[in-house]
Chains A and B, each alone.
Chain A
Amino acid sequence: MKTSEDRNFEEEWKSALDGAEMAPSDHVWNSIDLKISHAEQGEMKKRVLFYQRVAAASILFALCLGAAGWFWNYEDASVKSLASQTVGENQKESASSIAKVPFSNQNSSNSSAVTITESQNANSIKSAVGNYENGVKTRIENGGKNHALASEASNGSDIAAMIAPADKNVLTLGKEAELESRRTSQSNTGFENGSVTELATNGLSMSAIRLTGKPVEQIESARTFKIAKKEQSPTDDQNRNWWASVNGSGGAYNQSSSSNSVATSLFQQSATSTFYAAPNSKEVGVGTSFSYGMSMGKKVANRWVVMGGVNYLNQSIDYQTNIVLQDASQSKAFLADLASLSSNLASTNPYVLRNTNEFISVPLQAGYLLLNRKAGVQLNAGVAADIFYRNTMTDLSGQFGSFSQAAGDNSVYRNLNWTGLLGTELSYKMNRHYQVSLMPGFRYSFNSVLKSSTGSTINPLVWDVGFRLKYVF
């Protein structure tokens, strides 16, 4: 319980200090300003790190998909070869009597069972199967003079014709075979009483080829060969046309800079003032990069694409500096890198400077299609000619004016720079003409964007994720 004396004491103090104002030192705001800038850079770094990880993961994903695709093609080729070989030998060594027997299941109208009879030598089949290297399991059982090759063919045509070497079809097989037949005997060699050959292929393509001495009528169900026509993309022809696109990208920008002799000499020459040297890349951290433009391309081979275009490219990065350029009217944000441009420099309180370089980029790339379906995966690589357009330095606090300089003799930036490009294009075909793509990748400048006379080098490294809207003519 407060006494009236207590209340008086508190109220008196409260009213005496209420509304009091005291001016802090000037450096407090500078410190706040710098800390906010660093916090913003930290946020930006987190964002950039996210994009970098997305880009890296996408490239890794594409490479894995590519490897899987290559492996798949290899499997298909192997099976096709095996099938041709098997049937070829069967044709030679059997009595060439092939009967087509319909299955009794619900797809009987489209299915067929083919019996190869009078085959005299099951060893030929065993030999052919033995060539199949990857996980093929061969089992010979139920030997006999009459062998049946039961199959389920999607188009119901003659099996021998369908799997002939010259045929364009590829052999794809069901995952399991169910063949019910009575076993008369079984031996290790499996040739005394006829044979059944079963192929199992890890579920990839071929599951079973079974030869049995029993009549086909006794086979209640069988799924052995599944021969399907090689899937041909309906858009293959369309993809061979020219296409045009608009594209944009954004991501992280790292300067990869080396020592800065200009700044160092400036620092040494300044006996009275302390200039911040232009920070090296460790101090600078990561900037941002974005680009937009348009491109054209053409599919020049089954899996190869060439493309080119023109883009506006903007790379910006923030520094802390205390150098300003003084001209007649005002002080302008300035960077020690460019000190050789002017002697009208002065030191000031530290501030954050945004250094922005603008380029016109002309890329030329080749792309390899890893997957070309409704969704596509493409690896792109190439070079870009980056034509320097302008450099701008801006004080983020707005305290000093901006300094801007275009390409030319007075600029410390080279007019033309060569950049390597590598990326992945994950695409989706929306319809016959339109396609959208996500393109994670990176670009690295082969040469320093600074002229050699500066004594410094900056080789920008950019990780970005791009977007492309493509129109196929």
Chain B
Amino acid sequence: MHSEKELIDGCAKGDRAAQRAFYERYCGRMMALCNRYAKSTQEAEDILQEGFIKIFGSIASFRKEAKLTTWMTRIMINTALNMQRQKLYLLPMVDVNDANLYEQEEIGLSDFHFTELIRMVQSLPDGCRIIFNLFAIEGYGHKEIADMLNISEGTSKSQYNRAKSLLQAKLKAEQKYENVRGQKL
């Protein structure tokens, strides 16, 4: 079992065995991240592949005082955004003014497996999905997101609210379906 430092050093030297070990150690976590940003598993794997190539290409410049997973996550997110940017350019995000969207009932997530949650996130429209991930999961502010995606702060907020209400609707629908199925059984 290699230490993180050994793996980083091996990858920096281009040692293919170290790169393989590094990939195997982190691919699961990164794949889950990519799945949140992608529309499908295939798309997520494309992001993962591209992201790891970038990681191996620039790992020699990784400063060890930073946390490796944070650094890798940033690379993966940037890769995902780059791949999604074309879609966002073709289908620009606009402000969503639907007051009804915000009046959804709060539903807990404890009853859901994370793969179900990821599938729900994947089903969101492209713009909503990215902003939801950046704001709710990664913790970026709307101002930062607006700068990253070259949109207005208001658009980011409205897209996030739309994502939130869509997810709540999906959770509710899933919950109802589960309840109905439970009653039948």
Contacts and interface: CB of A to CB of B under 8 A. Distances in A.
Contacts of B49: 28, 31-32, 35
A357 B41 CA distance: 43
A36 B48 contact: no
Nearest to B28: A21
A286 B139 CA distance: 47
Interface residues of A, number: 28
A10 B109 CA distance: 11
Contact of A10 (B17, B53, B108, B135): B135
A21 B114 CA distance: 9
A33 B18 CA distance: 12
B48 to A, nearest CB: 6
Nearest to A21: B28
B125 interface: no
Contact of B53 (A22, A24, A25, A39): A39
Interface stretch (B30-38, B75-83, B91-99): B30-38
Main DSSP-derived SS at the A contact region? helix
Interface string A1-37: 0000100111011101101111111001101110110
A402 B115 CA distance: 41
A33 B32 CA distance: 21
A25 B35 CA distance: 13
A29 B57 CA distance: 15
Contact of A40 (B14, B27, B31): B14
Interface string B4-43: 0000000000101101100110011101100110000000
B162 interface: no
Interface in B102-140: 106, 108-110, 112, 114-115, 117-118, 135-137, 139
Contacts of A273: none
Contacts of A9: 106, 136, 164
Contacts of A36: 16, 19, 53, 56
Contacts of A39: 53, 57
A16 B136 CA distance: 12
A19 B29 CA distance: 7
Main DSSP-derived SS at the B contact region? helix
Interface residues of B, number: 37
Contact of B118 (A14, A17, A33): A17
Contacts of A12: 108-109
Contacts of A135: none
A14 B32 contact: no
B63 to A, nearest CB: 22
A29 B137 contact: no
Nearest to A14: B137
Nearest to B168: A9
A16 B28 contact: no
A22 B35 contact: yes
A35 B48 CA distance: 13
Nearest to A33: B16
A9 B105 CA distance: 11
B45 interface: yes
B16 A17 contact: no
A12 B28 CA distance: 21
Given A9-B136, A20-B32, A21-B28, 12 more contacts: A10-B135, A13-B136, A14-B137, A20-B114, A21-B31, A24-B31, A28-B49, A29-B20, A29-B23, A32-B53, A32-B56, A39-B53
Interface of B: 14, 16-17, 19-20, 23-24, 27-29, 31-32, 35-36, 44-45, 48-49, 52-53, 56-57, 106, 108-110, 112, 114-115, 117-118, 135-137, 139, 164, 167
8 contacts: A14-B139, A17-B118, A19-B29, A22-B35, A22-B115, A32-B56, A36-B16, A397-B17
3 nearest CB pairs, A to B? A21-B28, A20-B32, A10-B136
